Amino acid sequence: MTVFTKWGIALVCVLVPVWLLVNHYSVDISPSQQNHLSSKPLSNQLAEQQLAAGLALWRDKKYQQSAQVFSLLGSKKMNEDLQSLTKLYQYHTAAFNKNQNSEFMQQLSTLPSDCKQKLLFVTADLESLVQAESFRSRFAQDPRLKSLPICIYDMTWFDPVDIACEENWHQSGRLGCQLLSLAEKLKRLPFTHLVMFANKGKANVHNGVMFLDRQDTYDVFIHELAHFSGFIDEYPLSQALAKRVCAGVDAPNIVFQQAKKLKADRQYWQSIGLKNNTGIFTARTCDNHSTQAFKASKQLTFMEYHDTGFIPYSYLMAWQRQLQITPNQPSAHINFAQLYEQSDNLSESQFWRARYQQYLSSSTN
C-alpha cells in the first residue's frame, strides 16, 4: 500500500463521521424550526452596529453600499424604534440612488386648504432625517398649536449633493446654506416656507427660511417658527440688531415705546381681544436701545427662553391673527428671488417674485 493510499483512507475516516454529524443535525431541524431561527429578532446592539456601518458608508460617499446595508437590515426583525429608523434611511437612500427627486411631488400628501404656511423640511444630512421626523410628529400632536393654520409636508426633501451648509455662513456667525441649486429643483412644489436641517450652527430665520442644526430641540423649532409670523425675541438683542428692530413697528408679542413713556399703549392688545385688566410688563428686547419694549406676560415665554415652552393665550391669539391677515412677513420665495437677483438672473428672480405675489393673494383670499 502506497503512502498516498494510506493518507486517503485516513482522510475518509475523518471526513465521513463529520459529514454524518452535520447531516444528522440538518435532518433533525424541521422547516418550522428553521423559520423560527431565521425570524429571530436582531439584538439592539447588532442592529445599532449595522445602522452605524450604513451611516459610515454614506459619510464616505459610498452611497450604493450604504443603501444595500439599510435594505438588508430592513428585512430583519428588530424592535419597533430601530425598525422605523432603518425604514427611514432605507427609503431615502434608495430614492437618492434612483434619482427620484423628480417624483418627490407624487409622494407629498395634500395639505388642508386653510393652511396659511406650508412648511417643507429640507436636509442634506442623512442623520437629520430623524430629527425632522421627530419635529413633524411632535408638531402634529402639540395641543398648544392645534388652532394655527400651519402645516408641514409629510416628506423631507433629501439632497446630499447640491445642498451645502456652513455654521458661519458669509461670516455672519450663523448657520446658512447654499440655496440656488435647490431653488431650481423646488419650482414645482407648493411650499411657502422652508426648514433647513444641517449638522452644526446657530439657529436662525432669514425671511421665509429657517436654519436648524442637529443639536436644536423641538422647542427651538417652535421659537423659530414664531419668527415666520413676525414674533420678536424677548431676550436683549445686540446693539446692532436692536437699532434695527426697536425703532421699527410693533410685533405680535412686543409693543415699542419711547423710554420716557412710563405706560404701554394698550391699543394693539385691545385690537386682538386682550382684556383691559390684563397686565402689561416690560420686556428685555430693547435693553441695548433707548426704546422700551413691552409684553403682555409677566412670566418668561417661549420667545425669551425657548425651554420654558410657555406660550401665553394672548400670544396664540396674536399668532392666529398674523396668519389670517395679509402676511407682513416674507415667504421663502423672496429668498430665492433675492439670490437670483444677486446672480443677475432676472428671469428666475421674476418667477419667484411672482410666486411670492401668489402667496400674498392666496393668504388674503
Residue 62 to residue 96: CA distance in whole angstroms = 12
Confidence bin at 363 (pLDDT 50/70/90) = low
Q: What own/partner pairs with CB < 8 Å and gap ≥ 24 does 55-60 have?
A: 55/89, 55/126, 55/127, 58/93, 58/126, 58/160
Total Cβ atoms within 10 A of residue 102: 9
Q: In this model, does residue 152 exceed pLDDT 80?
A: yes
Higher pLDDT, 134 or 113: 134
Give the pLDDT confidence score for residue 84 in this predicted structure.
92
Show the 3-state SS of the chain: CCHHHHHHHHHHHHHHHHHHHHHHHHHHCCHHHHHHHHCCCCCHHHHHHHHHHHHHHHHCCCHHHHHHHHHHHHCCCCCHHHHHHHHHHHHHHHHHHCCHHHHHHHHCCCCCCCCCEEEEEEECCCCHHHHHHHHHHHHHCCHHHCCCCEEEEEEEEECCCCCCEECCHHHCCCCEECCHHHHHHCCCCCCCEEEEEECCCCCEEECCEEEEECCCCHHHHHHHHHHCCCCCCCCCCCHHHHHHHCCCCCCCCCEEEECCCCCCCCHHHHHCCCCCCCCCEEECCCCCCCEEEEECCCCCCCCCCHHHCCCCHHHHHHHHHHHHCCCCCCCHHHHHHHHHHHCCCHHHHHHHHHHHHHHHHHHHC
Is the pLDDT at 29 greater than 60, yes or no? no
- pLDDT the model gives residue 365: 58
Distance CA 101, CA 185 (A): 8
Query: Residue 324's pLDDT is what?
Result: 85
Query: In degrees to the nearest 10, what's the CA dihedral of 234, 239, 241, 243?
Result: 100
Confidence label for 349 from pLDDT (cuts 50, 70 and 90): very high
Q: Is the pLDDT of residue 3 over 50?
A: no
Task: Give yes or no for residue 238 having a pLDDT over 60.
Answer: yes
Model confidence pLDDT, tens digit, residues 53-69: 999 999 999 999 999 99
Q: Give the integer Cα–Cα distance in Å for 113 and 124.
A: 29
Binned at pLDDT 50, 70 and 90, residue 279 comes out as confident
Q: Which residue has the higher pLDDT, 131 or 105?
A: 131
- Asked if pLDDT for residue 134 goes beyond 50, the answer is yes
Confidence grade of residue 327 (pLDDT, cut at 50, 70, 90): low
Sign of CA dihedral 245, 343, 121, 332: positive
What's the average model confidence in pLDDT over 312-323?
Answer: 91
What's the distance, CA 94 to chain centroid? 20
What are φ and ψ of residue 105, in 5° steps? Answer: -60, -30
Helix axes 128-140 and 80-97, enclosed angle (nearest 10):
120
More reliable by pLDDT, 15 or 145: 145
